[in-house]
Amino acid sequence: MSGSKKNFNDLSDDKAVVEIMERMAAKEIPEISTAFDRAQSMKPCPIGSAVSGICCKNCAMGPCRVREGRTGLCGATISTIAARNLARHIAGGASAHSDHGRDLAHLLGLVAEDKAPGFEIKDELKLLKFARNLGIKIDDRDTKDIAKDTAKKAMSLFGQQHGEVDLIKMAPKKRQEVWRKYNVVPRGIDREIVETMHRTHIGVDQDAEHILDHAIRTAISDGWGGSMVATEITDILFNTPRAVPARTNLGMLSKDEVNLVIHGHEPTLSELIVELAEDKEILGYAKSKGAKGINVVGICCTAIEVLMRQGVAPIGNFLSQEIAIMTGAVELMVVDVQCIMQALGETTKKFHTKLITTSPKCKIGGATHMEFKENNGLELAREIIKMAIDNFENRKEQICIPGFTEDLVAGFSHEYIKYALGGKFRESFRPLNDAIIDGRIQGVVAIVGCNNARVPHDKYHNFLTRELIKRDYLVVLTGCAAISTAKCGLMKPEAMKYAGEGLRSICETVGIPPILHMGSCVDNSRILTVLSDVVKEGGLGEDISDLPVAGIAPEWMSEKALSIGTYVVASGVYTVFSGVPIPVESSQEVKDIITSGWEEKYGGKLEYVSDVNEVLNKVIDHIQSKRKALKIDVKKERVLFDMEARRGM
Ligand code: BF8
């Protein structure tokens, strides 16, 4: 990698990542091609931008590159192609989240039948709550019977052909009515994804708005369906998160312990690895090989799952995955699904690091495949840890672990936020609603999504978070955005000094940081649950679209981000994408549909804004317009009553 020190700082906000790049430039570590390099040496294909036209490759008469005034060979217009492409991306994202949810529902069923050694139901209360939402009979039935029926019902939501996916009833009544009015209530999760593929096949749905309404239906089946199933069952099996202190960044790699990195999205095998790594016998084995212990750390959303429940250190987000290997200190990286760069296969070859794939859905060249099945989790976890230990002696002397770490507090499930706000006996969102109404908190902004090698790493997440809390906007985060702000020190109670006076007063009273880590990407469903509860609490309108809230995906790159953005919009929230455009730039008609068109129907719009300062202003303007509509835009003076005044009341 070439470039001056200054350039490296321009590429990433993460000092640890910059240090590794500098050391590679100084030839202290082997030269490796990273996503940062590849982004510089290969420009993105310009097709899809407003000037170059759009590409349709859905049949073999093409690919057709269509510019303004022309159509594809079949007559498809720019708008039809743009809508079809966006719908397919959304289906891709929805399928990833939902397939993850399906696997957890399957696991819950096996746990209920005692067929998954090592796993158990850890949060019975959450099971009962979820079972009720699915219409399962509770009475005084045995927990395992309830779990069996819950798993069966959750599974059935995927293949359901008619009716409504039950979980949409978790949304406010008014929201459900909006969806029914526009006929976008999902009938079944898999059905909507399959129908997206069918409608976008050559010669089927050719009306951009009609295609995009189905894209909305598909996205709702993700947020209020597949993702909701994934989050709820993960809590049931591994516990609902509560505030948990932890540390982050590459400095959490250990120079004298076996470093085992878990990476991907599914918590199942990783939870077992984390638990087993503390087993005395295994620790003894590690010591017999010269290591002081076993250090399990994580990357991306698998890291977040085990952070939220067990305080495991997330050492980095999407763009840190290759960089972590380059420290030379990673004995083994075990991956499951999603956001795993194929480049890891080549990168790990240049170091002693072993790369292990475990999902039946994911193999990577250069990796060893050790397949996870629900009934072999314990043995597999043990085998993988042993493999990492055995590899410790192959570590070269020259390792380079950047000395950067940061404290953070994670674990803000919607249940924990409610508890933090009201205490054990009066848990409620009332204090949050009141703080928004009296203006100490101006609104809530969700900053979510990825890193993108075309965008300076972490910088947009961190900039927007700082600017928003300064102005009294509470920020909630998930996914790589959350890891980003944790690494820069904003996710700890001490960060309240950066918050405005109003937000700070709430954080001090409640004892929370000014930004709340709500989990992995699949856990954006938690944000939906909070929004519904805030509406139900009262005083801020009757629907999510009335709330002074907004969503931002500043460094997005994955199809999942597009699905999330779309279900958040469908739920009534203004959502801005930045960094790189949503792939509909070439069609003004489609841009109009997903902005003013969706706003008119669903109360939320999906917009791309390139300038990050403008993103900030637009989000603030939007929230202020919602405050105005709610008539809470005028700051009420706090009146302090003395005893005399009280007597006169
Ligand atoms: O699901 S934020 S880069 S890691 S897609 Fe991937 Fe994006 Fe990160 Fe988690 Ni989400």
Read off the pLDDT of each residue in 477-489 and give the average, rounded to a whole number.
98
Question: In this predicted structure, what is the pLDDT of residue 510?
Answer: 87
pLDDT by residue (tens digit) across 438-453? Answer: 999 999 999 999 999 9
The best mutation among 477, 521, 525, 555 to test binding of ligand 1, ranked by most ligand atoms within 8 Å of the C-beta, falls on: 521
Kindly give the number of the ligand 1 atom that is closest to the alpha carbon of 560.
5
The answer to whether the peptide bond before residue 63 is cis (omega within 30 degrees of 0) is yes
pLDDT in tens, 36-83: 999 999 999 888 777 788 999 999 999 999 998 899 999 999 999 999
Ligand 1 atom showing the smallest separation from residue 558 Cα: 5
Determine the 3-state secondary structure of 57 from DSSP.
Answer: coil
478 CA closest ligand 1 atom index: 2
pLDDT value of position 522: 97
Q: What is the pLDDT of residue 511?
A: 84
Ligand 1 within 6 A of CB of 480: yes
- Do 21 and 11 meet the contact criterion of CB atoms below 8 Å apart? yes
pLDDT band at 642; cut points 50, 70, 90: low
pLDDT at 2: 43
Collapsing DSSP states into helix, strand and coil, what is residue 59?
coil
The pLDDT tens digits for 103-115 are 999 999 999 999 9
Cα(476)–Cα(580) distance, rounded to whole angstroms? 22
pLDDT at 643 over 70: no
**Residue of 403, 34, 32, 458 lying closest to 253 (CA atoms):** 403
Quick one: which atom of ligand 1 is closest to the CA of 557? 7
Does the pLDDT at position 506 exceed 50? yes
For residues 624 and 616, what is the distance between their CA atoms, to the nearest angstrom? 12
Q: 74: exposed, middle or buried (C-beta count within 10 Å: 0-12, 13-18, 19+)?
A: middle
Residue nearest to atom 6 of ligand 1 (CA): 339
Q: How many CB atoms lie within 10 A of CB 446?
A: 26
Range in 226-235, 245-254, 489-498 with the lowest mean pLDDT: 489-498
Using one digit for the tens of pLDDT, what is the confidence trace for 345-370? 999 999 999 999 999 999 999 999 99
Closest of 246, 230, 132, 311 to residue 524, by C-alpha: 230
Name residue 437's amino acid: I
From the CB of 484, is ligand 1 less than 6 Å away?
A: no
- From 89, 447, 450, the mutation candidate for ligand 1 (largest count of ligand atoms within 8 A of CB) is 450
* Tens-digit pLDDT profile for residues 419-433: 998 876 678 899 999
**Which residue's CA is the closest to the ligand 1 atom numbered 7?**
450
The structure tokens listed for 258 are: 């076996």
Q: Going by CA atoms, what residue is nearest to atom 1 of ligand 1?
A: 521
Q: Which two tokens stand for residue 582?
A: 């949503």
Q: Is 423 left (phi over 0), alpha (psi -120 to 50) or beta?
A: left
Ligand 1 centroid–CA 366 distance in Å is: 23
CB 44: neighbour CB atoms within 10 A?
Answer: 11
Q: Is the CB of 521 under 6 A from ligand 1?
A: yes
- Report the run of H or E that residue 576 belongs to, with start and end: strand 574-577
Q: Enumerate the β-bridge partners of residue 262.
A: 298, 334
Percent of the chain's residues with pLDDT above 90: 91
646 alpha carbon – ligand 1 mean position (Å): 54
- Ligand 1 pocket, mutate which of 227, 262, 301 (most atoms under 8 A from CB): 301
Average pLDDT over the chain reads 95
Residue 548: its pLDDT value, please? 98
Q: Of the candidates 452, 458, 447, 451, which has an alpha carbon nearest to the alpha carbon of residue 406?
A: 458
Q: How far is the CA of 339 from the centre of ligand 1 (A)?
A: 6
Q: Which two tokens stand for residue 534?
A: 């805030």
User: Is pLDDT at 571 greater than 60 in this prediction?
Assistant: yes
Q: Is the CB of 608 under 6 A from ligand 1?
A: no
The pLDDT tens digits for 168-182 are 999 999 999 999 999
pLDDT tens digits for range 191-208: 999 999 999 999 999 999
Mean of the pLDDT values across residues 160-164?
97
